[in-house]
Amino acid sequence: MEAYLLDWANLLVRWLHLIAGIAWIGASFYFVMLDNSLTTPARPDDAKRGVFGELWAVHGGGFYVSQKFLTGPKGEPLTENLHWSKWEAYTTWLSGMALLAIVYWYGANTYLIDASVLALTPATAIAASIATIVAGWLVYDGLCRALEGRETLLAALVFVFVVATAWLLFHVFSARAAYLHVGAMIGTIMVANVFFHIIPGQKRMVADIRAGRDPDPRPGIIGKQRSVHNTYFTLPVLFTMISNHYPMTYSHPHGWLVLAVIMAAGVLIRQFFVLRHRGDVKAWLPAAGVALLAGVAVALAPKSGGEAGSKVAFTQVRAILDQRCVACHAMQPKQEGFAQPPKGIVLETNDQIAANAAKIAETVGNRYMPIGNLTQMTDSERATVSAWFAQGAPTK
């Protein structure tokens, strides 16, 4: 019953995380597009009111006009009916941390720890998880403060820091958890930018305007900087959120480098859309991003099986699966923490094994299974399963 209830908690929190994330990212993408698509106000009276730029749009059977005031309207009070874009970000982070706790902290032995990487106790692994997320923000924020006004150098060092963190985490956690924690670290940076800089800066500006003072421009400049950073962080974070479904990426011996290349591709593609909203179309950006992704796909492609080698008896494979896999992949799993077989795959009979032979060979070969290598499958056993599949996966 505990595992069943945990599955429901996982489902509901993940659903909330997805909904809040869509709301946050959608709003973020919209305002970046809006800011980069503004044109000079068509009416002179609007310019006199302080309108910096405007955008006319058609959507849902109606016409909309959005106007931007840099320091509020001139000659009239700032409205009290201001919409603040913040709770989408906070809800996304809170639900994400809850999901991290449910899956990777509560299930540390299964999903967070890989004894073949580093033998950690659950308490130590959880502490390392929390420390990674907190340290990521502190280092990033420190770099931003130290390199204020030197955006190119800052961007380069932030990228180096993220890649170095990925490399380090690959030597601490399971590969799947390493990817997830890079995403959690960047996601925390994004929401901390909102909480510590963007929203406080906006509140100071509003307070100055309503008090009749000229707003201090620095908080706005910093808020703008952090907002721009957030838009480039978005695609890398989204990739890490879905990466656990694609073990061919993180299971590679140099999975941290694979992650770095995929993140770089995401940044290039995002930059294309940012510039496109300004009317500056640079086709080489998405082309470079796609080329990086294609290069990764080629580099990760499974090698030809070649000769199957000495004959592998199915009884050998069946013994390996019974010992290493069936504890989870059974109608009634015996492995602690599993209320049902992962992805609904059951391997208790020869017919079930035959029906899932390709998936068995793939996930055993790329080390995705057993999860966290809980049952300590050896490299020799993995080679035996691969050889069996190369021979046509006979079950008799």
**Residue 277: which residues within 8 A CB-CB, separation 6 or more?**
32, 33, 36, 37
CA 63 – CA 57 distance, rounded (Å): 6
Q: How many separate helices (H) and strands (E) can be counted in the chain?
A: 15, 2
Q: What is the mean pLDDT of residues 14-29?
A: 95
Q: 134-138, 262-266, 361-365 — which is least confidently predicted? A: 361-365
**Whether pLDDT at 268 is above 90:** yes
**Beta strand pairing call for 62-69 and 51-59:** antiparallel
- The band of 137, judged by pLDDT with boundaries at 50, 70 and 90, is very high
Mean pLDDT computed over every residue of the chain: 92
DSSP string of 315-329?
HHHHHHHHHHTTTTS
- The band of 57, judged by pLDDT with boundaries at 50, 70 and 90, is very high
CA 197 – CA 319 distance, rounded (Å): 58
- The band of 306, judged by pLDDT with boundaries at 50, 70 and 90, is very low
**Whether pLDDT at 235 is above 70:** yes
Residue 51, φ and ψ in degrees, nearest 5: -70, 120
Q: 285-294 burial, b for 16+ CB within 10 Å, e for fewer? A: bbebbeebbe
Q: Which amino acid is at 134?
A: V
Kindly report, residue by residue over 105-129, the tens digit of the pLDDT. 999 988 999 988 999 999 999 999 9
Q: What is the mean pLDDT of residues 88-102?
A: 97
Q: Which amino acid is at 6?
A: L
CA 226 – CA 137 distance, rounded (Å): 12
**pTM confidence score:** 0.87
Based on its alpha-carbon atoms, the radius of gyration of the chain, rounded to whole angstroms, reads: 26
Closest CA to 223 of 40, 47, 70, 91: 70
Burial of 343 (0-12, 13-18, 19+ CB in 10 A): exposed
CA 6 – CA 103 distance, rounded (Å): 9
Write the CA distances from 341 to 174, 245, 338, integer angstroms: 21, 16, 7
- The band of 200, judged by pLDDT with boundaries at 50, 70 and 90, is very high
CA 108 – CA 111 distance, rounded (Å): 5
Q: Among the residues of 118-195, which ranges form H helices?
A: 122-146, 151-169, 175-193
Provide the pLDDT for residue 295: 96
**Whether pLDDT at 309 is above 70:** no
How much of the chain, in percent, has pLDDT values that exceed 70? Answer: 98
Write the CA distances from 134 to 96, 128, 160, 161, 186, integer angstroms: 15, 10, 18, 14, 10
What is the torsional sign of CA 143, 145, 147, 150? positive
